Structure 1
Amino acid sequence: MKTLIIYTHPNHHSLSYSFLQRTIQGLEENPHVDEVQVLDLYAESFDPLLVFNEDKRRRDMHRDPELTKYRNQLLWAEKIVFVYPIWWGRPPAMLLGYIDRMFASNFAYRDKGGMLPEGLLKGKTVVCVSTMKGPTLYPLLWLNNAHKVLMRKALLSYVGIKKVKFFEFGGMEKKQGKQEQKLDRIYQYFKTIAQ
């Protein structure tokens, strides 16, 4: 299983970074995992801004030479793991900017003239590992599951990725947030995942 981890947090001393490290540790100890690549969007200085003008046309995004490396990573990966905090009920703008630029027509999907396109990234699976300050049930009870709806239906399903698993860890800034227990849960999951 070829696994691409996309990490989105500007601080390498954060709890999100600890989740990244435990994810990597679990995957490296998993006999089903062939190779792991990590894309740290902030460390990479990934530019999340969309630019459309006379030189950069939207219809040519799928061929943008600046993004060749990132397109190759997505094509290579069988499993994609997103590690990020939930800010304002959704993933960081940096991650959404990555998706804006990478999930381009004729790379991630192809219009067929109907209501829904053909997803070109089908067959891949995704795991989203996210942390938040608020309680675990906050997105469900207060925001109508906006985070999961955004990631699963509006983004991943649109490009053909149907199998999506979520770990949403709330109360992460509390002293009694059971951070070590949750970090171990992530480590154990990735150490034993088979597909």
Structure 2
Amino acid sequence: MNMLVVFAHPTHESLSHAFLQQVIRGSGENAAVKDVQVLDLYASGFDPVLVRRRDMHLDPELAAHREQLLWADKIVFVYPIWWGRPPAMLLGYIDRMFASGFAYRDQGGLLPEGLLRNKSVVCVSTMKGPPLYPLFWLNNAHKVLMRKALFRFVGIRKAKFFEFGRMETPGGAQARKLEKVYRYFKTVAG
């Protein structure tokens, strides 16, 4: 399997970056993983600003990123949850990359045809708040946004979430959670 890891945190001294390292480490020890590409949105200077909607699937500036998404069997997003949602950088990537004509095709009906079928997604996210905060206070808005409004819309049915809370507290069990992500990527098969 080919794996694309999209990293969306501005610093490499972050806990999100530590999770990125565990994704890479585990994948590197997994015989089912053929190749891994990492796209660090901040370090690469990705421009998240959407300036046009029509014909974005033809934008030559994004051609290499479209090829990455087509190449990948599994897409992994590693990011913090700020204000109950992914950072603006990641949302800008989604706005620009998951465009009509590339990720989906309008059919005139209620839902489009998803063009990224047969791919799977893993989201690894961290937050300062309590683990159940998104569920009880936000009605799982983050997962609903990612799973229903994005992944299913573009044809991706298989999505797994690691959503870790209390990550900035001494009792946040960071080492245990990092190990959990490492073990998952060491053994995941598809």
Q: Which TM-score bucket, shorter chain as reference?
A: over 0.9
Q: Which residue of 2 aligns with 1:134?
A: 129
After the TM superposition, which parts of structure 1 deviate over 6 Å for at least 4 consecutive aligned residues? none
Structure 1: distance between partners of 2:182 and 2:4: 16
Q: CA deviation at 1:59?
A: 2.3
Instruction: Note the 1:121-160 alignment, pairs <5 A.
Output: 121-160=116-155
Q: Which residue of 1 aligns with 2:29?
A: 29
Report percent identity of matched pairs: 71
Q: Which residue of 2 aligns with 1:40?
A: 40
Q: Which residue of 2 aligns with 1:92?
A: 87
CA-to-partner distance for each residue in 1:65-109, whole Å, 9 max, x for gaps? Answer: 000000000000000000000000000000000000001111000
Q: Which residue of 2 aligns with 1:63?
A: 58
Q: 1:166 aligns with which of 158, 161, 165?
A: 161
SS in 2 for 1:66: helix
Instruction: Note the 1:103-122 alignment, pairs <5 A.
Output: 103-122=98-117
Q: CA deviation at 1:154?
A: 0.4
SS in 2 for 1:190: helix
Q: CA deviation at 1:60?
A: 1.4
SS in 1 for 2:66: helix
Structure 2: distance between partners of 1:173 and 1:59: 41
Q: Which residue of 1 aligns with 2:8?
A: 8
Letter in 1 for 2:76: V
Q: Which residue of 2 aligns with 1:184?
A: 179
Q: Which residue of 2 aligns with 1:55?
A: none
Structure 2: distance between partners of 1:35 and 1:118: 28
Letter in 2 for 1:86: I
Structure 1: distance between partners of 2:94 and 2:189: 26
What TM-score, normalized to structure 2? 0.99
Structure 2: distance between partners of 1:95 and 1:6: 8
Structure 1: distance between partners of 2:123 and 2:33: 18
Structure 2: distance between partners of 1:51 and 1:177: 40
Q: Alignment RMSD, CA only?
A: 0.5
SS in 2 for 1:158: coil
What TM-score, normalized to structure 1? 0.97
Q: Which runs of 5+ in 1 are unaligned?
A: 53-57
Q: Number of paired residues? A: 190
Structure 1: distance between partners of 2:129 and 2:46: 28
Q: CA deviation at 1:153?
A: 0.2
Q: Which runs of 5+ in 2 are unaligned?
A: none
Structure 1: distance between partners of 2:141 and 2:110: 22
CA-to-partner distance for each residue in 1:43-79, whole Å, 9 max, x for gaps? Answer: 0110000113xxxxx3211010000000000000000
Q: CA deviation at 1:176?
A: 0.8
